[in-house]
Structure 1
């Protein structure tokens, strides 16, 4: 059977299957069951820039509203320990997971602009994070915000976080860059060590009866995987960054396809939320059986075999194939 050990973000993993960022972080028993079922690492849910800034601003507003109440005002300021500002509770959860799980635990930061909040990356490292996943979640709604300005802002965020820590930083990207390889080159130059492809954007639906926006989490399906495969296949061999697939992995064939496209790790969330931790055991067995049947003794042998540079019919990844598909849709 195929040997599943892999090296991702300088971490030795016994399996490429990783529990991606999700509400599972809050359920220690579920995470233990995921590790027992074969997870090679765990990514915590994100600590958001907006969350950090909002807590800091709330504390400042509280103090500023009382600073000039009278001449003795400064003498009854609350101690700073009164406020839970920043990453305190997140770090405590991180420490708990590190002590309870025997696989690497990766912290997650989510932000859109460089600033003081990125200093919390150092606190995550001190709390035991073995790597940081930086989630670049940025929705352009301002007509004056150009693609170049947005990308330069994001690269500044990457560099700012990388400069705070000595542990590897992986960057989780959206699929909506007009020139993904060029932006990834910028991410690599900024000092990141890995990529996660791709982020699933929050997309509120409309409730026509209530004339409001509905907020419901919609789990992924295997139909979302080809977008990830295309991104990884295009980048494999053109960047030194290690890649992880995220979104659309529900069975062993999905995981095998991600490896063949160039993935070093494969994040799984929706399948676990829908089926429970046993989904990881099922995907692991199916992936091993598929790769072994194809003759691969290790993940390294299979990685990138069907990438743009290595596929026997590489044109299938490119634009020319689009015209052929349209003519052959029947």
Structure 2
């Protein structure tokens, strides 16, 4: 059998399978079952800076509006500081997972300001996170803003966090960069330790009957995996950042493809949400069988074997493959 133990972000993992950021953070029993099934690490759901700010402002508005209604109100309304407004509950959950699970716990941070990212990153480190996953989501809506300025701002955020914490920082990217290798080089120069390819943005849908926007979570399928494989295969050998594939991994073969493309870790969410922790065990066993059947003794031998740097015909990853597909789709 293939040895699946690996190192990711400087952390010792019993397998490359990682429970990705998801609502499973709040289900300790499910996470225990995932670890038993072969998970090598757990990523918590994101701590959203803007959500914390909104909660704080709402509480202040509530108290202030009632204080102004009565001159004696200040004598019986509590101070706003007594409310749990901030990252407290998230930090408590992080500490609980650290005590309860014998695998590395990665905190996830989704911020909107350089100062906010840094302050919360320090809290996560103090609470015991083994690493931090920065979830970069900065949507360009201003036509005067260029891709260069947006990317420079994101790289500055990465740098500000890396400079403040001593634990490894991984950056979760969107698939929409026009020159991904160049941006990744900037992230590496900013001091990051790893990449996650890619974020699955939950898009708004239109309800035509009610004439309004609606939100619906649609789980991934294996059809989303090739986008991640292409990016990992392209970046392997061009960056020292340790890559994790996230999105579209539903089988052992899917996980094997991610490793062969150059990934160090493979994040799984939708398969677990759909079929429970048993799905992770099936992926774990399937990955082991596939790599063993291919003759690989460990993940180091398998990693990047089908990347652009090592593929027998690297041009199949490039534009030439697009033309061939169009002419031979039948």
TM over 0.5: yes
CA deviations over 1:18-40 (Å, ceiling 9, x no partner):
00000111111111111111110
Aligned residue for 1:115, secondary structure, equals helix
| Residue number in structure 2 paired with 1:300 | 300
Q: How does 1:95-244 map to 2 (within 5 A)?
A: 95-244=95-244
CA distance in 2, matches of 1:204, 1:72: 46
Aligned residues: 330
Q: In structure 1, how many angstroms separate the alpha carbons of the residues matched to 2:201 and 2:138?
A: 9
Instruction: Tell me which residue corresponds to 1:41.
Output: 41
Deviation at 1:153, TM superposition (A): 1.4
- Equivalent pair of 2:20/2:268 in contact (CA under 8 Å): yes
Cα pair distance change 1:75/1:207, threshold 3 Å: closer
Deviations 1:176-207 (A, max 9, x none): 00000000011111111000000011211112
1:20 aligns with 2:3: no
Give the SS at the match of 2:7. strand
Taking a change above 3 Å as real, the CA distance of residues 49 and 229 of structure 1, as seen in their structure-2 partners, is same
1:316/1:59 CA distance change after superposition, 3 Å: same
Unaligned runs of 5+ in 1: none
Q: What are structure 2's unaligned runs of at least 5 residues?
A: none
Instruction: Give how far 1:130 is off.
Output: 0.3
Counterpart contact for 1:19–1:267, Cα < 8 Å = yes
Instruction: After superposition, give the CA deviation of every residue in 1:93-146 in whole Å (9 maximum; x if it has no partner).
Output: 000111111111110001243223431111111111000000002222222222
TM-score normalized with structure 1 length: 0.94
Aligned counterparts of 1:35 and 1:206: Cα–Cα separation in 2: 38
Change (3 A) 1:83 1:181: same
Alpha-carbon separation, structure 1, partners of 2:286 and 2:84? 45
Distance 1:10 1:304 in 2: 19
- Aligned-pair CA distance for 1:72: 10
Q: CA RMSD in A?
A: 2.1
